[in-house]
Amino acid sequence: MRQTERLAADATGLAQAAAVLLRGGLVAFPTETVYGLGADATDAEAVARIYAAKERPSFNPLIAHVDSFRTARNQGLFDETATRLAEAFWPGPLTLVVPVAPTCTISDLARAGLDSIGLRVPAHPLAHALLERTGRPVAAPSANRSGRVSPTDADHVLGDLDGRIDAVLDGGASQVGVESTIVSCLGGTPRLLRPGGVAREAIEALIGAKLETASETGSNPLAPGMLASHYAPRAQVRLDATRVQSSEAVLLFGAASLPGAETARLTLNLSNNGDLVEAAAHLFSYLRQLDASGAATIAVSPIPETGLGEAINDRLRRAAAER
């Protein structure tokens, strides 16, 4: 297992942290809410390593952190309400979920295949400096292992993730201590997906309307990840396929092909050498490509349940069930 470096909150530490991110590594960094576990959001393999380090059993969409509203506008489409919220509360503990812009460079995996994106401009000076230096959107969930509490200092991060990530930028304690408020602006009344560092009342006062809440729309507000309507392929998904039926599309994993694959409409391999991190990085874009082939069914060869295989299989089982 790799050594996790503790980087100082100075110019050298920032330069090292940015370098690690730009070469696809993982860096935990302070924000005003909690510490985030960052990866270059445009690099799907780097994003896959976040899920592996956290041992997340499923792919939730991640928040992409950017240095300014200007940068955010290249990634997402801001309607009038979203623009007002961004102007009033950024930088700060507010995440806005907006439709992806045509110029969006954030990987499918960071978005969990969705056509929307959660964006945030953090107020913490170190986070801001790191984002400026990196010049990329940085995907970052809270820097804890799945199921543990969110970390508010570098020691918490190391307690959970030492040896599993490349570095932690040590900026002392986070002031807010709770995660950002998440508001979805996808047309119609904005929805509160998760309460957090910006009070609901402050948002409602600004927009002059009540926020629709998660419970009003029938979802559990305590499980924000479940609110995302997951990307579902149009085609049927057939799991654990041992042979290919005529005109199916095929999703392979590993060196072995499937009998009948030469008759497939389109065959894609998540990872020829059986690397689950590479497989996770390709998952959503490959599902889309196979779906776009027009095949009625996507046959999927078996994928091991170890490491990121659990999250990959979770996503595939949902795709197979959603009809």
Residues 6+ apart with CB under 8 A from 322: 230, 232
- 282 annotated to bind ligand: no
What's the min distance (Å) between Cβ of 78 and ligand TXA?
Answer: 14
Give the CA distances from residue 97 to residues 155, 233, 292, 307, in Å, rounded to whole numbers and listed in that order. 31, 22, 26, 29
The residues that bridge with 65 in the sheet, in sequence order, are 120, 138
- Take residue 314 and report the two structure tokens written for it: 């979770």
By C-alpha distance, which of 111, 122, 116, 112 is closest to 98?
Answer: 116
313 binds Mg ion (CB under 5 A): no
157 binds, among Mg ion, ligand TXA, none (CB under 5 to 8 A by kind): none
What's the min distance (Å) between Cβ of 81 and ligand TXA?
Answer: 16
Between 228 and 316, CB nearer to ligand TXA = 228
Between 27 and 250, CB nearer to ligand TXA = 27
Helices 11-22 and 125-134: angle between axes, nearest 10 degrees: 50
142 binds Mg ion (CB under 5 A): yes
- 299 annotated to bind ligand: no
H-helix segments, the chain = 11-22, 44-54, 69-75, 80-89, 125-134, 154-161, 200-207, 276-292, 309-321
Between 60 and 271, CB nearer to Mg ion = 60
Contacting positions for ligand TXA (CB under 6 A): 31, 33-34, 36, 60-63, 93, 95, 97, 111, 114, 116-118, 120, 140-142, 179-180, 182, 193, 224-225, 227-228
- 150 annotated to bind ligand: yes
Q: Would strands 27-30 and 35-40 be described as parallel, antiparallel, or unpaired?
A: antiparallel
Between 60 and 267, CB nearer to ligand TXA = 60
- Summarize the annotated binding site for L-threonine as residue ranges: 33, 65, 120, 140, 142, 180
- Summarize the annotated binding site for ATP as residue ranges: 56, 60, 150, 194, 231
